[in-house]
Structure 1
Amino acid sequence: MSQAQPQSQSQGLRPRLSRLRVPEMVPDAVTLLTVYLIVLYAIPSNRSINDLGSAGSVAVLFGLGAAILWTLNQAQETQRQGGGHYPVRFAVVLFLFVSLASYVVAMTRPLPPQELTIADTGLIRLIAWAGILFLAHDGIPSMDRLVALLRRFVFAGALLAALGVTQFITRLPIIDLISIPGLAAGTEYASVEIRGGLVRAAGTSSHPLEYALVLAMAFPLALTFALRDPHRGLLARWTPVALIVMGLTLSGSRSAIIGIVAGAIVLIPTWSRTVRWRLALGSVVMLGVIYAVAPRVITNMRYMFLAIFDDPSAASRADSLGVFSQLFAVNPVLGRGFGTFLPQYRILDNQYFLLILETGIVGVAAFLLICLAAINGVIRAGRTLSDTRTHDLGFALAGSVSAGAVLLFLFDALSFAQSAGTVFLILGVCGAYWRLVHESGAAAQPSSAQPSAAQPSAGLSVQERSRHD
């Protein structure tokens, strides 16, 4: 009996030991995506490994690693939680299939050597961006971690804006002093481009338009965090907003103002009348301060909108319509292959026109479907929430995607590493927001029609739940 008892005890412990989870050392998706934010914005956008061409960007290489990690995780996953249909992921897979079909079409026609190379690297870049999107879409484990990632994105945008403001004041690129071993500048850098006698800052971006898109997509999120996070100090909440607005205004670009408006329009329904008046007054005060410090910024901005038909960049975009109409009829359905319409042929300054030429009508429709699925998903998911901060976060994500989608009309954003990486990252976060809201809603459904006294209703706000508990 004395020997049987320890044996029975050891047998009884085995099931309990088998249920213990060994702590995983692998960082979660939010940690990996935080590293991606550092890689994307801290390293100048035009720096890459020369031997790898346009696929030599560190951000692209990181995206390829994310794609491999996501694929391995999907292959090993035995039970998918949450189930159901994921609109953003479906639209991205559709876009990838269309792009692959376009690549096959390109390979069936005679290609110049430079187009052949860029077609290969274009497909690699698409896989890398999709890897970041899928990692965000399926890897973010909770709404708290999603909020943490977006806070870091806003913080990165604020730092990028601060760098741009410093470049504007000093008229120096600053980052050209930084040398990164193994990386070289692949294109001419435009971080201190001059327009109207004023510096058009670009931060670490390759072009002021790329810089404007990143900040415009960060603006709705920064503004929502400032309005809906009373637990943080006033300075901590509003400093990122002020820096991002200043960075956009000092970028000397019409696109910056259009991006602010496109993002803010989506947020207006979430604001009370008092908030609208306060924000309008704050905007006037900030413009007044900028006018007092650098009056030519405001006068140049006004001239760019009033004299738009005399502006060379606007005239170039108008002339591109004629080129587009001639080339569109050649491959209207699947295009000529992603990335194969080279800048030396013509700079269209319109990503949608470029997508139509490279992936056809089917390709641009699939890309628009990604944007629409993201915007519709976060708004519909947000409306099911009664917690004000999480509800408004859905609208902020919709505003971020709207700003990016509108600015894609004004330049070829997917030709630049930072702007393309930002667009696909935020699209992935939109998919994660939709997934987390629906999974939490399914988990919160009680087994009976009426919630029990021990289980508060899923429709209660955070404050009501805490009082109920």
Structure 2
Amino acid sequence: MRLPACGFVALYAVLLLCIPSQLVFRPLGAPGTPANMLGMCALAWWLAATIGGLNPVKRFTPTRIAVGLLAATVLASYASGMVQGWYAPPDVRQATDEFWTLVPPSVGETTGVMISAADRGLLSFAGWMGIVLMTAEGLRSWRDVELVVEWLVWLGAFVGAIGILQFTTGLNIASFFTIPGLSANSDFGGVDSRSVLNRVSATAVHPIEYGVVLGGLLPLAAHRMIHRWGRPLAALPALVIFVGCFMSVSRSAVLVVGVAFIVLLVGWPARWRINALLTMPFAIVGLRLAIPGLVGTLISLFKNLANDPSISGRTSDYGVVFGVMADNPLLGRGLFTFVPRYYRIVDNQYLMFAVELGVIGLVAVLLFLGGAFFQAVAARRRALQTSSQYLSLAVSASLLGIMVSFVTFDALAYPMASGLTMTLVGLAGACWRLSTVEDPDSPYRPHDLRTAGDRPGLRSMSPVHARGVA
């Protein structure tokens, strides 16, 4: 891991956000996105560096423990599915007008599809854990973390700009993306509509994913804007991401932004908090004037929850899914094996975790995601520099916003949303590790820095400065 890991993670972000998720390396199927293949390379790199003694992180960290527990449950659910097999009861299948849903699948067909789906789940999981570990342990300084955040923000602005262009012109972007070696596994680039407004997806699979991803990047963009205020283009990425996010015309996007904004307000100093609260009404009015009908449509999405068929459709799935879950309640049936074509679409990722990974797997996922959030919160308290404290706060806000959105859609079915989630988990781990290294009494602090930190006059210095003086 002597190579610049920040460049590796930045490249992952480029592949994740700028290449449409439907463009894949055909032999691997859905896990064959360029970003996920790079993530699998990251896992191989991390394993080789750690086994070879080149990884400076030697102890069990919270990130390693959470990844290990989650990996064990994913492998156990894979084995459970292979041993117990799968079936597709007719009463579980989604009711549609398509003729193929009237023909029940054979046991052989179901088994073949589920084995392939379980294999895809393992490949996707390997890519996710690779980028988590590379980000958490490969970023060596706060400057590296800031650099990765800088890349994420500008790339998010690029995705947001494509969405704004789609929203205003109705442009289908599919014709502009032709990459040798990659082929589309589904249609992409089109523009949907809701309440006479265009719903855009840019390079994402679906408008919901587009909105959630931009909403998750907004706290990072706000952090960058605040700490670069007065410089050219300081506010441009945050503005583009903010406007583009709501062009998804999605409740999930609003939910992500709302939750993340609350976390920021709690952690920001009073002056920032007051400025944000004073700016918010002007931002809403500006959005309303610039895009007539958008704010009203978003408000109506929340006012009519009781009569919204999309909400009733989500909740009506729960009883059916719990019935399937009862067959493998503890270990589940294997990641990605609740295939919508043979079962139904479930717009709740936590419910999908319960079905595919079982109760044990769901607990492991909650520890994995919740642990990452609290790592970022702990880094916010321990970091020595003010900018590092608020960077950790921004990461925690982004992560919690996306975690809450998992209730509203099946996030892991969307490569961009799942990849960004894992990148944020890795960033939270990196913030925690860097903040503990700054603590003179931390067992994770390298021996030479602990020695330097005990000398008079050096305890307040950063690890980089302390190493230089020592």
Question: What is the CA–CA distance in structure 1 between the aligned matches of 2:197 and 2:419, rounded to whole Å?
Answer: 28
Question: What is the CA–CA distance in structure 2 between the aligned matches of 1:85 and 1:247, rounded to whole Å?
Answer: 40
- What is the match of residue 159 of structure 1? 158
Question: What is the CA–CA distance in structure 2 between the aligned matches of 1:446 and 1:72, rounded to whole Å?
Answer: 30
Of 320, 324, 331, 1:323 maps to: 320
Of 455, 459, 462, 1:457 maps to: 459
Which aligned pairs between 1:28-427 and structure 2 lie closer than 5 A?
28-77=4-53, 81=56, 83-111=58-86, 112=110, 113-189=112-188, 191-230=190-229, 233=231, 235-344=232-341, 345-427=343-425
Aligned-pair CA distance for 1:188: 2.9
Question: What is the CA–CA distance in structure 2 between the aligned matches of 1:134 and 1:127, rounded to whole Å?
Answer: 11
Question: What is the CA–CA distance in structure 1 between the aligned matches of 2:150 and 2:400, rounded to whole Å?
Answer: 19
Aligned-pair CA distance for 1:292: 1.6
Q: Which structure has the larger Rg?
A: 1
Aligned-pair CA distance for 1:447: 6.3
Aligned-pair CA distance for 1:306: 0.4
Aligned-pair CA distance for 1:48: 0.9
- 2:70, 2:365 within 8 Å by CA — same for their partners in 1? yes
Question: What is the CA–CA distance in structure 1 between the aligned matches of 2:75 and 2:253, rounded to whole Å?
Answer: 33
Count of equivalent residues = 435
Q: Which moved more, 1:273-282 or 1:206-215?
A: 273-282
Query: What SS does the aligned partner of 1:295 have?
Result: coil
Change (3 A) 1:71 1:84: closer
Question: What is the CA–CA distance in structure 2 between the aligned matches of 1:306 and 1:349, rounded to whole Å?
Answer: 20
Question: What is the CA–CA distance in structure 1 between the aligned matches of 2:57 and 2:64, rounded to whole Å?
Answer: 14
Q: How does the TM-score come out when normalised to structure 1?
A: 0.88
Aligned-pair CA distance for 1:83: 4.2
Unpaired segments of 5 or more residues in structure 2?
Answer: 87-109, 440-444
User: Amino acid of the residue matched to residue 16 of structure 2?
Assistant: L
- 1:64, 1:128 within 8 Å by CA — same for their partners in 2? yes
Seq. identity, %: 29
Q: How does the TM-score come out when normalised to structure 2?
A: 0.87
* Root-mean-square deviation over aligned CA pairs: 2.3
Mapped pair 1:439 → 2:437: yes
Question: What is the CA–CA distance in structure 1 between the aligned matches of 2:451 and 2:3, rounded to whole Å?
Answer: 33
Aligned-pair CA distance for 1:365: 0.8
Offset from partner CA, 1:160-207 (integer Å, 9 cap, x none): 111111110111122433211222221232641111111111110000
- 2:5, 2:134 within 8 Å by CA — same for their partners in 1? yes
Change (3 A) 1:213 1:178: same
User: Amino acid of the residue matched to residue 374 of structure 2?
Assistant: N
Q: Which moved more, 1:128-137 or 1:351-360?
A: 128-137
- 1:191, 1:208 within 8 Å by CA — same for their partners in 2? no
Query: What SS does the aligned partner of 2:215 have?
Result: helix
- 1:262, 1:402 within 8 Å by CA — same for their partners in 2? yes
User: Amino acid of the residue matched to residue 416 of structure 1?
Assistant: Y
Query: What SS does the aligned partner of 1:237 have?
Result: coil
- 2:453, 2:459 within 8 Å by CA — same for their partners in 1? no
User: Amino acid of the residue matched to residue 311 of structure 1?
Assistant: D
Question: What is the CA–CA distance in structure 1 between the aligned matches of 2:56 and 2:183, rounded to whole Å?
Answer: 44
Unpaired segments of 5 or more residues in structure 1?
Answer: 1-23
Change (3 A) 1:367 1:448: closer
